[in-house]
Amino acid sequence: MKTVYKLGAAVGLALVAVVGAKVFGGLVYSAAAPDEAPRVAGAMTFRKAATQSGSASAELRPGDAALGKKAVKVCAACHTFDQGGANKVGPNLFGIVGAKIAHAEGFKYSDAVAGHGGRWDAGNLGKWLTNPKDFIPGNKMSYAGVKSEQQRRDIIAYLETLR
């Protein structure tokens, strides 16, 4: 009886050892292939960021002007983008990147925007597009902002082409 018990214990231990070796071996394997694993994971996150434009992801690609051009359709209710285009509810945005804040001749800006000073560099545009009311309180652009950082990058990349 005692021998059978001992035998059982030995088999049990051997099993634990085998399973343990497999798990440990797996760890060693993934640690030994650091190049491959993150590269694949990175590609997957990239696709995710590209399809879910609303999600904030650490894996952002540089702005894509072609996508930005599509994204500014929502702005076109109030803005024109072509050279010499009319001011509508909002000012024409041709050449906006690098221009001074309140850049358009003949457009009646709010006092807040007219008196703000500074230039529309990519940083300021990013803040404005994230939340116009936070960046220049008292402005009259009735637009909540662009939630997706990726989409803001795309829009700014498109605005940069307007020169």
Binding flags for ligand HEC, 59-98, as an x/- string (CB under 6 A): -------------x-xx-xxx---------xxx-x--x--
The end-to-end CA distance of the chain, in Å, is 91
Among 49, 67, 104, 157, binds ligand HEC (CB under 6 A): 104
CB of 27 to ligand HEC, least distance (A): 47
- CA atoms of 86 and 150, how far apart (whole Å): 28
- CA atoms of 70 and 68, how far apart (whole Å): 5
List the interface residues with ligand HEC, window 126-155 (CB under 6 A).
Answer: 128-129, 139-143, 146, 155
- CA atoms of 79 and 91, how far apart (whole Å): 6
Q: How many CB atoms lie within 10 A of CB 90?
A: 19
What is the binding site for ligand HEC (CB under 6 A)? 72, 74-75, 77-79, 89-91, 93, 96, 101-104, 109-110, 112-113, 120, 128-129, 139-143, 146, 155
